[in-house]
A and B are shown apart, each in its own frame.
Chain A
């Protein structure tokens, strides 16, 4: 019983981080079909910026979180305009190569600026300590993480389903040309969505710094998890990555808890089986 509770809790926390980072990638892939392997770079940049603001400049936690998201979102627009834009609709191989190039550069830059060791996260005093469920204690910070994840999911869902901007995104994912011809500025829409997705990734990277450690190899090593969430969930929705992140987060935690000698093998096998069964992902359209 305790083990089950523990798996559910930590799995949920891991799923939250996965979701926050991956949802932007899923939507941008659905919108423009751009295979952006460098999405994890936004997450790790978010982590580094927030941790630096907190530890070196003593900025309070909520403020540094907000600044981080804004800075990364703004920076991602520059990268999108300068590098990505001309490759839309182009060769998949070029997209893969360009974004792998960015990942490699981020690995080296992070090591140059912050050194090879993982950056520690020291949550503010009101978020440290433990919460007791029954006889077992769980870190308060992870509760906060899960709750923030739930809030973001709700906001995203409301935004996509209930606002004009959300309707425009859905229209463009459904049929980009049609959306364009009825007067939606898809280029601008995409830039905004890209910035939003990168900002969320930064939020995920920063909040999840104690689950996925912020170190130079982050964008390369965690990439496979983000891609799994996106591919399993299906492109272009916020629902797909939500269920995929839940599935991947809890399943991976459970497997590693119950069968540590098999490690990540299970999650790869499950992904392989799922993709063979549904090549478009669980919620993707054929």
Chain B
């Protein structure tokens, strides 16, 4: 019987109507209009949004021997979160997101190897350089769609990897970039072998990255992105500067990915060629898919699942790990589209639990 109830209106339509009325002059919107309510209510922090942070703190307290792995997981979450912004919200399918991760990693790494060891400014610079790379490459690739877009993103990442491979004098080539000297965070906390500092540092950066991303996707800009994903022509028709919006999102995501790359470089004090590889682009895609795309929290579920499973399985043999992750992907596409969060949502809807 429940099935006959009217389906809840998709959330995007509120934003669309808001934009629509803006383009007509827009002054008639009042505080009580449902569109404004929809926008405002999505800003509010909900109780469950504290869960990832509580879990992260709990993990720090209860698993002291896993802090190094934990720092890597937090980095991966930030990387997946940046992908969610363009894949989940702007609907850009990319096979080369590692390009920006790698650019950030090499930027932070080169800075630290050449005397600029201060980590926070290093991260900021890594983010800026990766963001610039995002603007440059986005201006080229975002004019295309489908297979061409996939290919162009793949090509750019492959080119960068090959360039880093061949420019061994600067990047260390296949041996990786070594001799990094990262200064203590804030001049106080030295990066230790156990990864205690790294964990807290990554957690703090991830928190800032999450705040930024959350702010973006809930803003009018974020709603416009979703609108473009759902119906590009209509957004164009109501006067949204489609290309510029997509390019902005691409650049922001690139900058966040660059920060994630910088984090990895600083916490491991090493940058390898594989930070630019297709495998990494694929892995971050998989993490996000496992968690759920376009939900902001997919990265927080998918990345830890992937990284912990990899840590367990890959100890036996890194290649057999590929089998399980491949099988999991096939199963997710066949039976659990939308990843863990979509499945959770379906279960909760069945039992009518409200978040």
Contact = CB atoms under 8 A, between A and B. Distances in A.
B313 to A, nearest CB: 10
Interface residues of A, number: 45
Given A96-B93, A279-B143, A101 B323 contact: no
Main secondary structure of the interface of B (DSSP, over half): helix
Contacts of B332: 97
A118 to B, nearest CB: 15
A218 B143 CA distance: 31
Interface string B333-355: 11001000000000000000000
B161 to A, nearest CB: 9
A94 B166 CA distance: 34
Contacts of B166: 261-263, 265
B165 interface: yes
A31 to B, nearest CB: 13
Main secondary structure of the interface of A (DSSP, over half): helix
Interface stretch (B152-160, B186-194, B248-256): B152-160
A230 B166 CA distance: 26
Interface residues of B, number: 44
A143 interface: no
A26 B334 CA distance: 25
A96 to B, nearest CB: 7
B154 A101 contact: no
Nearest to A273: B155
Interface string A84-95: 000100001110
Contact of A100 (B163, B320, B329): B329
B148 to A, nearest CB: 5
Interface stretch (A104-112, A155-163, A242-250): A104-112
Interface in B89-132: 93, 95
A220 B143 CA distance: 27
A95 to B, nearest CB: 8
Contacts of A263: 162, 165-166
Nearest to A271: B155
Contacts of B324: 108
B319 interface: yes
A68 B162 CA distance: 35
Given A104-B322, A216-B319, A224-B154, A98 B146 contact: no
Given A93-B93, A272-B159, A275-B152, A102 B330 contact: yes
A228 B151 contact: yes
B154 A92 contact: no
Interface string A219-238: 01000100110110001000
B93 A92 contact: yes
A98 B329 contact: yes
A108 B93 CA distance: 26
A30 to B, nearest CB: 10
Contacts of A109: 323
Contacts of B147: 29, 35, 230-231, 235
A269 B162 CA distance: 11
B108 to A, nearest CB: 24
Contact of A275 (B151, B321, B329): B151
Contact of A94 (B143, B156, B337): B337
A105 B326 CA distance: 5
B64 interface: no
Contacts of A280: 148
A97 B289 contact: yes
A33 B328 CA distance: 24
A272 B152 contact: yes
A258 interface: no
B87 interface: yes
Interface in B240-269: none
B185 to A, nearest CB: 37
Contacts of A220: 278-279
Interface in A186-240: 216, 220, 224, 227-228, 230-231, 235
B154 A227 contact: yes
Given A97-B329, A275-B152, A268 B93 contact: no
Contacts of B162: 262-265, 268
Given A101-B326, A231-B147, A265 B93 contact: no
B326 A102 contact: yes
B150 interface: yes
Nearest to B156: A272
Contact of B163 (A83, A94, A105, A265): A265
B282 interface: yes
Contacts of B321: 108
7 shortest A-B CB distances, which residue pairs?
A101-B329, A104-B326, A108-B323, A105-B326, A101-B330, A268-B159, A231-B151
13 contacts: A33-B146, A35-B147, A93-B289, A94-B337, A108-B321, A108-B322, A220-B278, A261-B166, A264-B158, A268-B158, A275-B148, A276-B140, A276-B152
Given A103-B326, A116-B319, 12 more contacts: A35-B147, A101-B333, A102-B326, A102-B330, A108-B324, A108-B326, A231-B147, A235-B147, A265-B162, A268-B159, A269-B159, A279-B148
Interface of A: 29, 33, 35, 83, 87, 92-94, 96-98, 100-109, 111-112, 116, 216, 220, 224, 227-228, 230-231, 235, 261-265, 268-269, 271-272, 275-276, 279-280
